[in-house]
Amino acid sequence: MKHTYVYALFLMFAFQTSCGQNQTNPPKDNTRLGYTESQLKEADTSRVPMSMVRNVKPASNGDILIASYLGVFRYHGTSFTNLTNKIISPRFASFWDVLEDRKGNLWFGTADSGVYLLPAGQTSFQHFTTKDGLARNSALHIYEDKTGNIWFGASRYHRQSLPNGKAGFRTFSTKDGFPSNNIRLLLEDKTGKLWFGAQGENMFVYDGKTFTVLKNKDGKAFNNVWSVIEDKKGNIWFGADGLWRYDGSTYTRVSQKGAYAIIEDRNGNIWTTGTAKLNGDWTLSRYDEKSLYNKEPTVTEIMSQRAMLLGLFSANDGSIWFGAAGGVYRYDGKTITDFKNKEEQK
């Protein structure tokens, strides 16, 4: 009965309501994160991302959106524009994710300062926090479902006006039948199933009626998933103590390499960032499409370093963009461009 109730919530969008406000009070001072005064000043005026880049996403016009910890940037093809230095100083920023939704609105998720919204065609931002209905001020992943609603972990923003004339949030929890209160990310697949990753907890899927905690053939649950995608063939890929693939009936461990981020490029190759098991280095890896279903797929390590390699994006021109602890990189099939160092060399 409880699951039927949850399904009705998904269909009817009978959500709790709250409206966002323009920011009036700055969040906490992030100098505690280890950035010096000179680094914060540099980030405020920098023409490129200078700090940790967690996510790289597409814009509708072909531009590339980069969520760096000290600011969100747009890459226009030849240069970058800082989208957030007009609304918040790097001293207070903590950006993790960015999304342009289907209506052209820009959303910015932060580690501890809530969510910012820049409506399409406008110049004034709205700022959402727990006071406005978010489950928490940590919004590490942003996702738009097929109906156009925006998710921030367990909190869903309903874009259409509700009976009181306002848009608002609904936060799901174990009280609504969810297996976890710590949802971090989700994916809606082609069949309508919802795949959830939870912070430090088990991965689960909702088929419209039932929540199922996912387990491998040994009965061990997949835990602390950071990334999940669906490829062109309908397979589900995710990272949980290695790289896994689900073909609709069987879970296959494709690699023991860590998979913090996963994407499929236009040729069907699978790319990951994550730690290597042997030495702990972070690697950018490509799994060749022609060998994906072999017992041991062909894997090419494009880049390896001690510092973290994070979010991934396959651009229209075939290049692979990836975030790192020190900024954003682009791999064009031959050369890796480090935009931070390129800027410093000018």
pLDDT band, residue 20 (cuts 50/70/90):
very low
Could you tell me which residues are beta bridge partners of residue 251?
A: 246
Q: Which residues, 6 or more positions from 278, have their beta carbon under 8 angstroms from its beta carbon? A: none
pLDDT of residue 85: 81
Residue 176: per-residue pLDDT: 85
- What span, in angstroms and rounded, lies between the C-alpha atoms of 120 and 118? 6
Residue 28 has pLDDT above 60, yes or no: no
Q: With 50 as the cut, is the pLDDT of residue 110 above it? A: yes
Residue keyed to tokens 């926090």: 129
Q: Is the pTM of this model over 0.75?
A: yes
Sheet with 126-128: strands ordered across = 95-100, 106-110, 115-118, 126-128
Strand partners, 330: 321, 337
Most confident of 42-56, 128-142, 227-241: 227-241
* More confident of the two residues 237 and 158: 237
Given this structure, which CATH class describes domain 21-124+186-344?
mainly beta
Give residue 24's pLDDT: 38
pLDDT at 166 (0 to 100) = 61
For residue 327, what are the CA distances in angstroms to 11, 66, 82, 205, 216? 40, 9, 13, 33, 36
Coil/strand/helix, residue 222: coil
Tokens of 44: 């405020």
Q: What is the pLDDT of residue 164?
A: 52
In angstroms, rounded to a whole number, what is the distance separating the alpha carbons of residues 92 and 222?
Answer: 35
Looking at the chain, the whole-number percentage of residues with pLDDT higher than 90 is 61
Cβ(334)–Cβ(311) under 8 Å?
no
| Of 186-195, 239-248, 271-280, the least confident | 271-280
DSSP codes joined into one string, 293-334: TSSS--EEEEEEESS-EEEEEE-TTS-EEEEETTEEEEE-SS
Q: Which residues contact 40 (CB under 8 A, 6 or more apart)?
A: 31, 70, 89, 90, 91
Q: Which long-range contacts (CB under 8 A, 24 or more apart) does 69-74 make?
A: 69/33, 69/93, 69/94, 69/95, 69/96, 69/111, 70/35, 70/40, 70/43, 70/95, 71/43, 71/44, 71/46, 71/95, 72/98, 72/108, 73/48, 73/49, 73/328
Express each pLDDT in 274-326 by its tens digit: 998 677 899 999 999 999 999 999 999 999 999 999 999 999 999 999 999 98
Q: How far apart are CA 112 and CA 129, in angstroms?
A: 9
Residue 100 has pLDDT above 80, yes or no: yes
Of 179, 207, 210, 181, which Cα lies nearest the Cα of 195?
207
**pLDDT value, residue 123:** 87
Q: Give whole-number Cα distances, 277 to 14, 34, 269, in Å.
A: 46, 28, 22
- pLDDT band per the 50, 70, 90 thresholds, residue 29: low
Check whether 242 has a pLDDT greater than 50.
yes
The C-alpha R_g of the chain, in whole angstroms, comes to 20
